[in-house]
Structure 1
Amino acid sequence: MVERSKVVDLRTRTTYRPDCANLARNRLLLARKGLGLSYGEFADLITPMVGWPVSPDAVEAWETSLVPPGDVLIAVSTVTPAASDRLGVRSHKFIAAYIGEAMAARLAEQAAPAGQDHHALPVELPAGTCRLHVWPYGVAILHLVEDLDLPNIAHLAVWRYQSYEHNLDWATTYLRRLTGDDTSAASYVLSLYWVHGPTWVGQMLDTAARIICSPRVLIDRDQPGGDACLAAAEQAERELLAGGFHQQEMRSFGVAGVSVGYASWSGVAYHPLDPARCLAEDELVDCELTAQAIWAYCEHINGQVEQGHDPHVSEEYGWRFLRAARSRLTNPRPRETGQHRLMRDAIVETSGIAGHLDQAIEALREAGRQ
């Protein structure tokens, strides 16, 4: 869900001045972490390369507060693992549509239960994997999963921007063929990125996660395609990584030493620092499926109001149903972990679903009083 008003135009921002010291510290830290070495082991590795004794304390200081010497950086460039040059991301796209209660009931008969409140069936694709999730109140979400191996965030941003229209067209065609209803249409795409192979560490990893959470910031509106678009995106990425990127509406739900996680209007980005203690990938997916299903249902109701019509839904899924859904989305569960609560709160807040729900509830209650 990307609104033009929420896109940050780099040309309206002050010029970023690269933080060369931070870039150098990150280079050193990334090399040591990539090799899996302690401060002492890394010091022993680069000592013969620079020709003078390097202490573990010096390595720690260069990573945190001091600027690494030039000869140390040259040595680091020769030992950095080649794999660290690639960004590994699993993209989850949630493509939502309203298909009506009757069609949802028909499709549910062909599908398997997926949780307590909906059904799902596989969708055949030449690349990636996809499942169609159907809720009894008439919402369908195509969950498209694609594994990406990229040189940088700019390539992710361009791919995302260029693939969204294709995804919407494909989803609309698929749903119309499946339902036999030519009015069925996919309304939006929301992305969740599970970052399993980052190329940064420390503070720069945190900045990178924020950019991945809202990659549209790298795209120049005046040249949204071609080589010029990618070149501009790569330049913007370098500037933001060096100078920092902060978006007021973005919310963090990561835990120090465990994970880096951000949610925004554009989507979600998450990197597990400690796989044994972080959120599971399925937890993020399930949370987004629940939130986007209700969001799409409210969009259908509020869309009728905006067109000047009284909203019509079955009594079973009227305003009382939405009131209960709002409670489930916004109130903590008794056995919910702190990390899960942080994730849910961040996703609910940045999606604007609370206001969407309130508007839909009021519209249904008003229609019922007439």
Structure 2
Amino acid sequence: MIAVEQWTGEEALLLRSVMRASVRGFADHLGISPRTVSHWQRNRSSVCRPQMAQILDTALHQCTPEEQEAFRLRLAALHGTAVAAAGVDAPQATPCSVVSHKFLPAYVGERIAPLYAVGTPAPCGPGGLERRTLPVGHRSAQSSAVHVYGCGVAVVHLEEHHRVESLTDLAVWRYRTYLREPNWAGKQLTQLIKLHGTEEAAAHEVPAPQYVLSVYELRENSWAGAGLDTALQLLATPSVLVNRQDPENVVSLGPGVEAAKFREGWSHAEAVPFGGGVSQGVAGWSGVSYHPQPDERALTTSQIVALELDVQALWALSSHILHTVEDGQDPVMPPEYGWRFLRSAYYRLTTARPTETAQHRVMREAILTTSELPDRLRAAQDALRDSTS
């Protein structure tokens, strides 16, 4: 029997993580208010009252054996206590196959118009944003395209398939390609504008995207239970596997580091798990990992991609608006993309739909929580409203 000497917000959130529950789902399971779970997120060191500790003890003892084992290993790692897996071999680093999706968003502004005019119409995503696509050529991607939004944003999407010997190898590849992909994407957008736009529009190069967001679908692998949980955590937050002191030469911290992460059942404190029985995933600030079970009820990766396209487009747009305000200027957008446009996107993204499954809902909530997009959308909306008042 697992015993928690003192329940704090940290241990409570650890329990939520191994149960792969959303904030609302965890609160409903415990019979408490979602505000209490949010309080734990803000105050991880806060000590739970005796009655709440009893509720958490009961919830832990009702977990599956696999969930209890994952909690035991992660609790030991949290407190720096060495512990071996109970009665089973500890999960190990092993080869696996993954599909990498990279998103490189850039605010282009009015110069996006000729690309939007020639692009192929695509279905609207969860944010209700109309978009069009154009193909681009990439040296190693199985699929590469530019998604163009009328609000002035372009999102380059690259899909690449990999078979790797370890998650560390994938992490090194990820950070090394991040050095060149943004500049490549900026040049591709500049060339497309020169090809389809006016001379005036093509006179200036498009700035390179400021960051890359990745989504990884874990395919062939030999992990299960706590091992699969750790693998998804490392896929979503791979920075713990590499040395990034020299951005031009990111290297592995060594095979022993990944092995130790699997032994301790490592998880990132700010990563948010999501799933629904037939799928598992983790959303982090810099990436999302996902493993669907072979079941037709599982989420599809295309649903995650559709959400991320809209999330990244709105992130780039809101960042442009907020940076304009920071520079001491009033943000100006065409009327059709003013504060009402942002308000509509905000409610579409944050409001549950009658047709969406529980898996889809917790995935959407996890991605929005870790991206902090809702807060940025509200701030950008207020800035545009103030500039027109």
Partner Cα distance (2:94, 2:234) in 1: 18
Residue 275 of structure 1: CA displacement?
A: 3.3
Give the conservation status (yes or no) of the 8 Å contact 2:187–2:206. Answer: no
Task: Quote the residue 1:265 is aligned against.
Answer: 285
Higher-Rg structure is 1
Partner Cα distance (2:272, 2:118) in 1: 38
- Please say if 1:143 is aligned against 2:157: yes
Give the conservation status (yes or no) of the 8 Å contact 2:90–2:263. Answer: no
Partner Cα distance (2:246, 2:112) in 1: 40
Residue 356 of structure 1: CA displacement?
A: 0.6
Partner Cα distance (1:224, 1:307) in 2: 28
Residue 191 of structure 1: CA displacement?
A: 0.2
- Please say if 1:119 is aligned against 2:132: yes
Question: For structure 2, which runs of at least 5 residues remain unmatched after alignment?
Answer: 1-77, 125-129, 194-201
| Aligned CA distance change for structure 1 residues 236 and 359 (closer, same or farther; 3 Å) | same
Task: Quote the residue 2:269 is aligned against.
Answer: 248
- Please say if 1:313 is aligned against 2:313: no
| Aligned CA distance change for structure 1 residues 20 and 333 (closer, same or farther; 3 Å) | closer
Cα deviation, 1:75-122, whole Å, max 9, x if unaligned, reads xxxxxxxxx94210000000000111x332211222111113110111
RMSD: 2.2
The 5 A counterparts of 1:202-213 are 202-213=225-236
Q: Does 273-282 or 328-337 show the bigger shift?
A: 273-282
Q: 1:328 aligns with which of 322, 345, 348?
A: 348
| Aligned CA distance change for structure 1 residues 316 and 290 (closer, same or farther; 3 Å) | same
Residue 16 of structure 1: CA displacement?
A: 7.0
Give the conservation status (yes or no) of the 8 Å contact 1:319–1:361. Answer: yes
Other structure's SS at 2:211 match: strand
Residue 353 of structure 1: CA displacement?
A: 0.2
Partner Cα distance (1:266, 1:224) in 2: 16
Residue 184 of structure 1: CA displacement?
A: 3.2
- Please say if 1:17 is aligned against 2:79: no
Question: For structure 1, which runs of at least 5 residues remain unmatched after alignment?
Answer: 1-12, 28-83
Q: 2:251 aligns with which of 229, 235, 240?
A: 229
The 5 A counterparts of 1:182-193 are 182-193=205-216
Aligned length in residues: 298
| Aligned CA distance change for structure 1 residues 359 and 22 (closer, same or farther; 3 Å) | farther
Q: Does 267-276 or 138-147 show the bigger shift?
A: 267-276
Partner Cα distance (2:171, 2:87) in 1: 24
Task: Quote the residue 1:95 is aligned against.
Answer: 104
Partner Cα distance (1:273, 1:158) in 2: 27
Task: Quote the residue 2:58 is aligned against.
Answer: none
Partner Cα distance (1:242, 1:279) in 2: 29
Partner Cα distance (2:329, 2:108) in 1: 18
Partner Cα distance (2:81, 2:121) in 1: 50
Partner Cα distance (1:115, 1:107) in 2: 17
Other structure's SS at 2:115 match: helix
Identical-residue share of aligned pairs (%): 38
| Aligned CA distance change for structure 1 residues 219 and 22 (closer, same or farther; 3 Å) | farther
TM-score of the superposition, structure 2-length normalised? 0.72
Give the conservation status (yes or no) of the 8 Å contact 1:17–1:242. Answer: no
Q: Does 172-181 or 148-157 show the bigger shift?
A: 172-181
The 5 A counterparts of 1:61-76 are none
Give the conservation status (yes or no) of the 8 Å contact 1:176–1:185. Answer: no
| Aligned CA distance change for structure 1 residues 309 and 234 (closer, same or farther; 3 Å) | farther
Other structure's SS at 1:137 match: coil
Partner Cα distance (1:363, 1:16) in 2: 49
TM-score of the superposition, structure 1-length normalised? 0.75
Partner Cα distance (1:233, 1:105) in 2: 48
Residue 141 of structure 1: CA displacement?
A: 0.3
Cα deviation, 1:280-313, whole Å, max 9, x if unaligned, reads 1211110111111111110111111122211111
Other structure's SS at 2:314 match: helix
| Aligned CA distance change for structure 1 residues 213 and 348 (closer, same or farther; 3 Å) | same
The letter of the residue matching 1:105 is A
- Please say if 1:353 is aligned against 2:373: yes
